[in-house]
Structure 1
């Protein structure tokens, strides 16, 4: 089974038989050293061997948890690139059925140029793949942090929002109302619903040109799977700051 160290060795040392004039080694030097970081550098140990997990597209749900690498930006980029290749091979299977593709904490993924491009490609080919894409943001102003103003990356991020036919908006902080209303083209009535009319679990759904206020209901099993406030509800511990 070919693995990354083999590729790095072949790129950096293609051998005289396949590279008699040395041009292949020169052309591949930058790529080889960039990939070598995943083999012998600070990112070694995760992507440089046979996979220890099996990607099974027949499962009803597959989840990639990046919470333990949240502070390592290069590693997130590498992991998302690898997992996207897995995912796209499954999506390209004509017998793969219909799928939801959900990007939670999308604000973090938008920081890596290759990932918004993949999201955009999947959106454009959604009918071909038989998928529906969902991007989840804390606030729409997160899109302002993608690339520089007027850059191609900012335009790509904005197009992902502009081409979404269904937008679901939960209660917004007061300082986010103006930017949210402008980005989504909310009417005055819709904007007035956001604070504080919408209660817990209520969302304003914009489906093309129609609007609905929807009360979302969770099954107890769904609530247990999506609960993220357990540590907030635990009995707090006391810490004492002492001087030596």
Structure 2
């Protein structure tokens, strides 16, 4: 931890109220709370938050540590989730990588369900984690309808019903995405339920199995239900014999390692794929990690939504992706999950819908659920909007305006603020920095 190197005359800043020590006053003992009031910004309060070391709090010149679960236990925040905002090159990604890797060293589990640039693979290797790569030409396959590890708290019937509901919701989301937002008709719901129910006895169910049941339904079905199943099959055909073939139509060839310190799904091979393929990849990997983290595998886990977070929220027409994220946040505390959203700016959320629309309000509500918000440098034109949404006062807005690279304004709960400089070793910089890759700067 860096030692304070304040010169005898203090730092050369206007109005710093410092000077050389010419007298030797008698020692005075008091609490850090009283000292913090007598000398504001020079002493931390007595209630220090614990966790992974981040860097130096520039408001108090004290080491700054943070852990979402420790902060929740200390009642400093009411949720585990975190929003990290900042334009390119301000240090946002560097913070996410250094902070998550240090939490992993302390025993927390980390998962990155969508790594669009492949830059988290080195981070996973650094902490002893694992990574898989999906996309064209890759051997790994993820079954969109994998039931995941069995939750032993469920009875056989309850577990079968849970899996059926999951598969039903996933297939409906896929169809809506492939139909560019078109909803299912009532008779199509019936046809899908019949097809999935007929597959309940199989140990492995894939999109190909569902497609086959819809194409060749039971002869006893009413004609209108069979016709509705054929329409659904036409929507799913792209996944089994069209441009999306080979990604998610077969059994999974990889297993989610719940005990690994960090698990990364490298989706960089999908950069040249169609928007539908990329959206379905995000759906597949996010669902795969979610299902694999239930039951006996449930534990404190950081899930990092990289800078494609806004795309993830809006990748399903009609806002289904965003609705899923909001629903996840409602149960995140119960599951022990800390979702980290990396965003360029608050205005990105405005792209999710017209002001005051239900979709836009839902997006802002998701941000409000993140009780820990870390703001890196913003463009001057973004300050006013960020101030409105994040509740900055004049001093906080001015702090953000003057932030240097690697410095962030931390808003922790309702009344804690810190200006933190993220400190990394030279070796860590070599692992985390993306400059040399020609990608986004750290």
CA contact (8 A) 2:313 2:325 kept: no
Q: Give the one of 81, 100, 106 matched to 2:283.
A: 81
Structure 1 vs Structure 2 CA RMSD: 2.0
Matched, 1:21 2:242: no
Deviation at 1:94, TM superposition (A): 4.3
Q: Is the partner of 2:314 in helix, strand or coil?
A: coil
Q: Is the partner of 2:265 in helix, strand or coil?
A: coil
* 1:99 paired residue number: 301
CA contact (8 A) 1:58 1:96 kept: no
* 2:407 paired residue number: 202
CA contact (8 A) 1:143 1:154 kept: yes
CA contact (8 A) 1:4 1:48 kept: yes
Deviation at 1:33, TM superposition (A): 1.7
Residues in 1 aligned to 2:427 and 2:322: alpha-carbon distance in whole angstroms: 32
Change (3 A) 1:55 1:95: closer
Q: Is the partner of 2:264 in helix, strand or coil?
A: coil
CA contact (8 A) 2:300 2:336 kept: yes
Matched, 1:69 2:270: yes
Q: Deviations over 1:114-167 (max 9, x none)?
A: 322222122111121011111110111100111333332212111011221110
Change (3 A) 1:225 1:114: farther
Unaligned runs of 5+ in 2: 1-203
CA contact (8 A) 1:101 1:134 kept: yes
Residues in 1 aligned to 2:223 and 2:339: alpha-carbon distance in whole angstroms: 45
Residues in 1 aligned to 2:250 and 2:430: alpha-carbon distance in whole angstroms: 35
Residues in 2 aligned to 1:221 and 1:123: alpha-carbon distance in whole angstroms: 35
Residues in 1 aligned to 2:305 and 2:438: alpha-carbon distance in whole angstroms: 25
* 2:364 paired residue number: 158
Residues in 2 aligned to 1:159 and 1:230: alpha-carbon distance in whole angstroms: 37
Matched, 1:184 2:390: yes
Q: Deviations over 1:165-198 (max 9, x none)?
A: 1100001111111111111010100111112x32
CA contact (8 A) 2:301 2:337 kept: yes
* 1:6 paired residue number: 209
Residues in 2 aligned to 1:22 and 1:225: alpha-carbon distance in whole angstroms: 60
Matched, 1:123 2:300: no
Change (3 A) 1:153 1:30: farther
Deviation at 1:10, TM superposition (A): 0.6
1:227-238 equivalent positions in 2, closer than 5 A:
227-232=433-438
CA contact (8 A) 2:258 2:297 kept: no
Deviation at 1:231, TM superposition (A): 4.2
CA contact (8 A) 1:14 1:24 kept: no
Unaligned runs of 5+ in 1: 234-244
Deviation at 1:232, TM superposition (A): 4.6
Count of aligned positions: 230
* 2:241 paired residue number: 40
Change (3 A) 1:27 1:222: farther
* 1:52 paired residue number: 253
Q: Is the partner of 1:136 in helix, strand or coil?
A: strand
CA contact (8 A) 2:207 2:250 kept: yes
1:135-174 equivalent positions in 2, closer than 5 A:
135-174=341-380
Q: Deviations over 1:11-31 (max 9, x none)?
A: 121131xx3433432232332
In the superposition, the TM-score normalised over structure 1's length comes to 0.86
